[in-house]
Amino acid sequence: MVRPVKENKISARRALFMTGIALTFAAGLAFFAFRSQVLLDELFCLGVLHCIMVLLLILAFVRRRIAGETALGQADDYGRIFWSFLACWGMEALFVFCPDFFIPVMLIPLLLSLSMDAALALCFGIYFVFLLCVFGGLGNQALYCYCLLDMAGIMLQPYLRGKKRLEGMEVYLLYFLVNSIVPILFYYMTYLELSSELFFYAVGNGLVTTALILIFYRPLSLDISRTVEENYRKILKEDYPLVGDIRRYSLAEYRHAMRVSRLAAMCAKEIGANVLCCACAGFYYRLGKMEGEPEIDNALKLANDHCFPADVMLIMEEYGGVIRLPQTPESAIVHMVDMLVTKIELLDQDTMSSTWNQDMVIYQSLNEWSQKGFYDESGLSINQFLKIREKLVAEETLL
C-alpha cells in the first residue's frame, strides 16, 4: 500500500493562501449579512457553518494535494484556488441583483473545477447556492433549481476539456438549453404561472451562462496546463534557490543530479512517461544528502517547503526503495538511472573508457534489479523496461 507523502509542516505560501481563503469567506459573510440585515443569532449560526466549511475545505486540499489529485499537476500552493474563490464571491455579490430562479449559478462550480477536482467544486458550488438562498430569502424550489443547475454543469464539464472554442457546439447547446429550461420549469412549479417576461429571462440566463463558458473556460483551462509545466520547469532553473544550494554543497553532487535528470527525462520520453516529472525527480532524488540523516525525511521537508509537485515528492520518498518499492514507471526510471550513474561514477575512468564495459554494467545491473522484482509494483511493462535498457545502452556515456 502506498504511504502518502508525509507533510513536515505547511509551507509559508500555502499558509498565506489558506489565510486568504478564510478571509474571503469571512468578507463574503459580512457583505451578505450587512446587506440582508440578518439577526445576530442567525449571523452566529452562519459564522459557525462558515468555519466548518473552511476547515473541511483546507483538510480536503491537503489530502488531495498529498494524494496527487489536484488540478495543477500536484504542485498547487493554493494560489489559484484563492483567486477562484475570490472570483466566486464576486459573482455571488452580483447574483443578488438577478431575478429569482434566473441566476447563472452554474458558473461557480465550473470556475472552481479549474482549480480543484469536480467533487469539491460541486460541493462548494452547492454551498454558494445555499448561502444565496438563505440571504435572499428564497424557498426550497429555488434551492432545488440551483442545485440541479450546478450538478448539470459539472456533469457536462468533462466534455469541455480538450475542445477548441468552436468545436463540440452541441455541448454549448446543452448548456444553453439546461440554463433556459430548468429555471422556467421550477418557476412554474412554484408560482403556477408563466409570462413572456419569464421567457426573456430564461433565454437571457441561458445565453449569458453559455457565452461566458464559451469565452472563458477553454483559455483558463489552457492556462492551467501551462501552469502545470511551469511548476516543473521552475524548480529546474539554474537560478532556483535549491539548485544553487546543491551546487554550493557539492559540485560533484550537482553534476550527478544533472546527469540523472537528463537521462531520466530521455528514458521517460522513450516510453511516453511524464518527462518533466522524471527530470525534476532525477535532479532532486538525492536531495537528502545535503541535509544528512534522516535523508528521506529531510529531503521531503525541503521539497514541501518549496511546494514541490506531489508526484516528484512521491518519487523522492521512494529513494532507493528504503520505504517502499517504486510505485510508478517514473519512479522506476529515476531509480534505474540514479543507480547506474552512481555505479559508473564509482568505477575508475580506465575501466569505463570502453563502451563495451559500460554496456555490460547497464545490462548486468538492470537485469539484476529486475530479477529481484524491484520494479514489479511500478506498473512498468517488460516491453517498457527493455526500451529503457536499450536507450541507455545506446548512450555513448552516462557521465
Write out pLDDT tens, residues 48-88: 988 898 888 878 877 766 555 554 444 456 778 888 999 99
Count the Cβ atoms, other than its own, within 10 Å of residue 58.
Answer: 16
Q: Comparing 8 with 30, which gets the higher pLDDT? A: 30
Digit-coded pLDDT (tens) for 262-291: 999 999 999 999 999 999 999 999 998 888
Question: Quick one: 221 and 107 in the same domain?
Answer: yes
Q: Distance (Å, rounded) from C-alpha 165 to C-alpha 214?
A: 6
Residue 221 and residue 273 in one domain: no
Task: Say if residue 338 is in the same domain as residue 210.
Answer: no
Mean of pLDDT values over 199-215: 93
Residues 6+ apart with CB under 8 A from 38: 32, 46, 135
Does 326 share its domain with 180?
no
Q: What integer best gives the mean pLDDT of the chain?
A: 85
- Give 1's pLDDT tier (boundaries 50, 70, 90): very low
- Whole-prediction pTM value? 0.67
Using a pLDDT cut of 90, give the percent of the chain over it: 47
Q: pLDDT: is 338 or 161 the higher one? A: 338
State whether the Cα torsion 357-358-359-361 is positive or negative. positive
pLDDT at residue number 4: 42
* Residue 4 in domain: no
| pLDDT above 60: residue 163 | no
Q: Are residues 307 and 212 in the same domain?
A: no
Greater pLDDT, 256 or 357: 256
Note whether 72 and 156 are same-domain residues.
yes
Question: In this predicted structure, what is the pLDDT of residue 179?
Answer: 95
Domain extent at residue 374: 236-394
3-state secondary structure 331-388: HHHHHHHHHHHHHHHHCCHHHHCCHHHHHHHHHHHHHHHHHCCCCCCCCCCHHHHHHH
Count of structural domains, the chain: 2
Residue 46 is which amino acid?
A: L
Asked if residue 178 and residue 36 are part of one domain, the reply reads yes
The pLDDT assigned to 311 comes to: 86
Q: Answer whether residue 7 is part of any domain.
A: no
Residue 273: per-residue pLDDT: 93
Domain boundary among 178, 213, 231: 231
Please give the full DSSP string across 248-299, using - where no structure is assigned: HH-HHHHHHHHHHHHHHHHHHHHHT--HHHHHHHHHTTTGGGGT-SSHHHHH
Given a cut of 70, whether residue 161 has pLDDT beyond it is no
230 CB contacts (<8 Å, ≥6 apart)?
none
3-state SS track over 13-62 = HHHHHHHHHHHHHHHHHHHHHHHHCCCHHHHHHHHHHHHHHHHHHHHHHH
Give the model confidence (pLDDT) of 95-138 as tens digits: 988 999 999 999 999 999 888 888 889 999 999 999 999 888 88
Q: Count CB-CB contacts under 10 A for residue 231.
A: 21
**83 inside domain:** yes
Residue among 98, 236, 215, 230 at smallest CA distance from 165: 215
Grade residue 5 by pLDDT with cuts at 50, 70 and 90. Answer: very low
Contacts 24+ apart (CB under 8 A), 89-96: 89/24, 89/25, 89/27, 89/28, 89/31, 92/28, 92/32, 92/128, 92/131, 92/132, 93/28, 93/31, 95/132, 96/32, 96/35, 96/132, 96/135, 96/136
Alpha-carbon distance of 172 to 176, in angstroms, equals: 6
> What per-residue confidence (pLDDT) applies to 164?
55
Q: What is residue 73's predicted lDDT score, i.e. its pLDDT? A: 44
CA 201 – CA 163 distance, rounded (Å): 29
Is the pLDDT at 93 greater than 60, yes or no?
yes
Q: What is the largest CA-CA distance in the chain?
A: 92
Residues in Cβ contact with 372 at an 8 Å cutoff, skipping those fewer than 6 apart: none
Write down the pLDDT at residue 165: 52
Q: Do 57 and 191 belong to one domain?
A: yes
> Which of 174, 201, 231 is the endpoint of a domain?
231
Give the H/E segment covering residue 241: helix 241-249
For residue 219, is it within any domain?
yes
Mean pLDDT of 165-172: 72
| Confidence category of residue 353, pLDDT binned at 50, 70, 90 | low
Instruction: Tell whether 220 and 262 lie within a shared domain.
Output: no
pLDDT at 14 over 60: yes
Q: With CA atoms as reference, report the closest residue to 132 among 170, 172, 112, 103.
A: 103
- Using one digit for the tens of pLDDT, what is the confidence trace for 376-390? 999 999 999 999 999
Q: How far is CA 17 from CA 23, 78, 85, 93, in A?
A: 10, 6, 11, 21
Does 2 map to a domain?
A: no
Average pLDDT over residues 160-175: 72
Statement to judge: residues 257 and 218 lie in one domain:
no
